[in-house]
Amino acid sequence: MKSSAKFARMLPVVGMVLAMATVAHADNILPSVTALNQKPKNDAVSITYAYLPQNGRLVILSGDPAEKSSASLIGATDLNAGDHRNIKVKLTSEPKPGARVWAAVEEAKANKLFPGSDERAEQRFMIM
């Protein structure tokens, strides 16, 4: 009985350690976005998933991804830090069917990816 009483007293400490480990792990998650080929509906596209480590925005760009400086911003929405699913992004101009566009998560109003981002912070997709 003594060992079970000791264990019961340790549970809150164990729970706190696990919670701290989860928070520490969350800080290591990189920004990411997932988008599928689609036909816009009501002048908007639907982005399957986005994760932002801090408040920022999800942008939709058209043009050549290799030449980002010449890309055109065709849609954007502000997002809070965290996981987001099935995000509707209103387009300012609808690309023609067959157009290749891409979604990216970036720092709020900075027009650049979050520091430490890798290829998961951008996702190409096609307008059908």
Q: Flag whether pLDDT at 15 surpasses 90.
A: no
Model confidence band, residue 11 (pLDDT cutoffs 50, 70, 90)? very low
At 60-79, the pLDDT tens digits run 999 877 777 788 999 999 99
What is the C-alpha separation between 82 and 112, in angstroms, rounded?
18
Q: What confidence score (pLDDT) does residue 122 get?
A: 95
SS3 98: coil
Nearest CA to 37 out of 105, 124, 119 is that of 124
What is the C-alpha separation between 109 and 89, in angstroms, rounded?
16
Q: What confidence score (pLDDT) does residue 110 get?
A: 82
> Do β-strands 44-52 and 56-62 pair in parallel, antiparallel, or remain unpaired?
unpaired
Tokens of 45: 């596209």
Are 118 and 65 a contacting pair, CB within 8 Å?
A: no
Q: Flag whether pLDDT at 17 surpasses 50.
A: no
State how far the alpha carbon of 26 is from the alpha carbons of 22, 105, 111, 118, in Å.
6, 17, 24, 16
